[in-house]
A and B are shown apart, each in its own frame.
Chain A
């Protein structure tokens, strides 16, 4: 239920933005686009990305053109600080990139060409770290702690499988793209 509530709030907010935006020259979004942005943000949030970050990605996916910083602030109805923190985070993960255009003084943002892969890289890194810390703990524990060692062995096994599965999916995707 809190999710549904969050979704409703977000929709109301974005819906209003679309109206305000229309009159001030920002492109209005179709309700289906608004819903997509909100849903994507919720999924990304469950994956540990701030919700505003998810909304930025969603908006850039829908727009498919470089969007100015001020426009992100206006269209998502959030503070400049929040947009700046989140664009920096997404840039550092390679999900979005900053573009500059001749004669355009402002910073523009767009989704990177391989943003889908980049989103999966986050998971890949997590699986790798999980495998590493479980393995190190298992080796570091004294032989007397058999149940903990066994639990760690299962965690290692799980991370290895998750890693393998994610890597396979990435490889299949890359092959397909060519």
Chain B
């Protein structure tokens, strides 16, 4: 049984995911996997979320392709299980970064290819380029920061394990 706070989180996450272009069921799967402590099989996802098998498998594929969810298979277990990919926050940042980078590229290409009579359009494209450059730079700095903090966490976890072993 999920705690009410967990249920609320899953519901709100799925609405949020929808506004970012991930179907609501995909958001529910992600939320459930964040809340569950062990990996879930697709049958379990079907019965927990009360949705069709087809919908679960389509959404799992989407989440896998975005590097958000990871498939694990165990010897002797015929069912694949799924868990949140540990590097999923990094994937999310990289995705936004890629979006901004392609925005810059698309504007740059259009500006250089448009004939000179498109004076005002070229000017608008130059603004888009400048804007995306600022976003890209800011996100690159943030990604570095995130990677550093992830390393610190790993280092801290290693120390804990060492203590536990000794």
List A residues at the B interface (Cβ < 8 Å).
30-33, 35-36, 39-40, 43, 45-48, 61-65, 111, 116, 120, 122-123, 126, 129-130, 133-134, 136-137, 139-142, 145, 147-148, 151-152, 154-155, 157-158, 161-162, 164-166, 168-169, 172-173, 176
- The reply to whether B21 and A134 contact each other, CB–CB distance below 8 Å, is no
User: Who on chain A is nearest to B110 by CB?
Assistant: A36
Q: Which of B1-15 contact A (CB under 8 A)?
A: 3-6, 8-9, 12-13
- The reply to whether B121 and A63 contact each other, CB–CB distance below 8 Å, is yes
Annotate B90-133 by CB proximity to A: 1 below 8 A, 0 otherwise: 00110010010011001101100111001011011101101100
User: Who on chain A is nearest to B128 by CB?
Assistant: A116
Q: Which of B42-50, B54-62, B71-79, B142-150 contacts A (4 or more CB under 8 A)?
A: B142-150
Report if A172-B134 is in contact (Cβ < 8 Å); known contacts: A136-B5, A137-B9, A158-B89: yes
Among candidates A40, A46, A140, A154, residue contacting B5 with C-beta atoms closer than 8 Å: A140
- The reply to whether B146 and A47 contact each other, CB–CB distance below 8 Å, is no
17 more contacts with CB within 8 A, not counting A35-B110, A141-B6, are: A30-B115, A33-B118, A36-B106, A36-B125, A39-B106, A65-B120, A116-B127, A116-B131, A123-B96, A133-B16, A136-B8, A136-B9, A137-B6, A148-B35, A161-B146, A165-B138, A173-B131
Per the bound structure, the CA–CA distance linking A120 and B20 in Å amounts to 13
Report if A61-B124 is in contact (Cβ < 8 Å); known contacts: A43-B106, A48-B19, A155-B34: yes
Among candidates B8, B89, B138, B149, residue contacting A166 with C-beta atoms closer than 8 Å: B138
Annotate B125-166 by CB proximity to A: 1 below 8 A, 0 otherwise: 101101100110111011001100100010000000000000
Report if A168-B146 is in contact (Cβ < 8 Å); known contacts: A32-B113, A48-B20, A140-B4: no
In the complex, chain B residues whose CB is within 8 Å of the CB of A120: 135
- The reply to whether A165 and B5 contact each other, CB–CB distance below 8 Å, is no
- Within the complex, what minimum Cβ distance (angstroms) separates A128 from chain B? 10
Query: Does B40 make an interface contact (CB < 8 A)?
Result: no
Query: Does B28 make an interface contact (CB < 8 A)?
Result: no
In the complex, chain B residues whose CB is within 8 Å of the CB of A139: 5
- The reply to whether A172 and B146 contact each other, CB–CB distance below 8 Å, is no
List B residues at the A interface (Cβ < 8 Å).
3-6, 8-9, 12-13, 16, 18-21, 34-37, 84, 89, 92-93, 96, 99, 102-103, 106-107, 109-110, 113-115, 118, 120-121, 123-125, 127-128, 130-131, 134-135, 137-139, 141-142, 145-146, 149, 153
In the complex, chain B residues whose CB is within 8 Å of the CB of A166: 135, 138
- The reply to whether A162 and B115 contact each other, CB–CB distance below 8 Å, is no
In the complex, chain B residues whose CB is within 8 Å of the CB of A151: 34, 84
- The reply to whether B138 and A176 contact each other, CB–CB distance below 8 Å, is no
In the complex, chain B residues whose CB is within 8 Å of the CB of A43: 99, 102-103, 106
Report if A142-B134 is in contact (Cβ < 8 Å); known contacts: A45-B21, A64-B121: no
